[in-house]
Amino acid sequence: MKVEEMVCIMCPLGCRLTVRQEDNGEIIVSGNRCPRGIEYGKQEIIEPLRILTSSVLVLNGELPLVSVKTNKPIPRRLVMKIMDILKNTRVEAPVRVGDVIIKDILNTGADIVATRNVERAERSDAA
């Protein structure tokens, strides 16, 4: 039997959950005050998921970085691998909110999308 304690983040109540996975695979969640806590506790035991936020380098932009996030939750176990990919990713300005920077990252079904606009930097040609 596996037992974990956690705080549910699905609503403002912040319930303290106890999640037990029995030897037969059954998952029992207690401490929740709403149904979302049951689903959250089960998901955390089976495969924890996270929305990942980060930034990516922008080439020729008025800003050096653009903020990005996954458009849906990804397995927590892949967060560091995805961060390594983002660390080496470059995007050319202009960038618009919602632009897909990387499609289906690591075959998760999640896209990395821009969460702000970055305009192209104006060139100043000195004569």
For every one of its 127 residues, what pLDDT tens digit does the chain have, with 9 covering 90 and above? 889 999 999 999 999 999 999 999 999 999 999 999 999 999 999 999 999 999 999 999 999 999 999 999 999 999 999 999 999 999 999 999 999 999 999 999 999 999 999 999 987 665 5
Q: What pLDDT, on a 0 to 100 scale, did the predictor assign at position 124?
A: 66
Tokens of 106: 């690591």
Paired sense of beta strands 65-70 and 53-59, if any: antiparallel
Q: CA–CA separation, 41 vs 121, rounded Å?
A: 47
Q: What pLDDT, on a 0 to 100 scale, did the predictor assign at position 72?
A: 97
User: For residue 118, which of 83, 87, 91 has the smallest C-alpha distance?
Assistant: 91
Q: What pLDDT, on a 0 to 100 scale, did the predictor assign at position 88?
A: 98
Q: Determine the residue type at 60.
A: N
Q: What pLDDT, on a 0 to 100 scale, did the predictor assign at position 1?
A: 87
Query: pTM for the whole thing?
Result: 0.85
